[in-house]
Amino acid sequence: MSVRTAVAGDPAALSAIHTASFHEGWTEADFHTWLARAEAICVVAEHAGEVVSFGLALAAGSDAELLTIASVPAQRSRGLGRQIMRALDVEAGRRGLDRWILEVARNNLPAIGLYSSEGFVEIGLRKAYYPSETGRIDALVMSRPVLR
């Protein structure tokens, strides 16, 4: 397993993981657009030559906004998400960013478990933030310093 910065050839793999993870997954073209942005921070974990997990964030002033972390369903609970978070810290630290901000659906217990165990704390609530098949879901807003 190795972790590296995303490259121009990664969007298809990122889209496949995102689509397997979310009701309205982002397309390959979406990821091309994200990666082309100077503010984008994207790291991927590879296993046996395949991308198995990734994290995407945007620099916003001195904040780092975590847009998503996702692991291939068959490879979850093996420490990939945590490694991605650590790699994102390194990249955000390199850019001089100070603070992580993220939104996470209130019922997304694996993600809340990951973020809580990584030191994130709840700093706010966004009512009815995410659409879902069962109606709109609140988002927790979580934050912690960028770790160096």
Which positions are catalytic?
A: 103, 115
**Residue 17 Rama label (left phi>0; alpha psi -120 to 50; beta):** alpha
Check: CB of residue 74 under 8 Å from CB of residue 47: no
Residue of this chain nearest to ligand COA (CB atom) = 113
Question: Which C-beta is closer to ligand COA: that of 47 or that of 82?
Answer: 82
Question: Which C-beta is closer to ligand COA: that of 38 or that of 143?
Answer: 143
Nearest distance, CB of residue 66 and ligand COA, angstroms? 7
Residue 75 has φ and ψ, to the nearest 5°, of -115, 15
Nearest distance, CB of residue 81 and ligand COA, angstroms? 3
Residues that bind ligand COA (CB under 6 A): 21, 53, 68-71, 76-82, 104, 108-111, 113-114, 117
- As a whole number of angstroms, the distance between CA 97 and CA 63 comes to 6
142 bridge partner residues: 102, 122
Nearest distance, CB of residue 128 and ligand COA, angstroms? 17
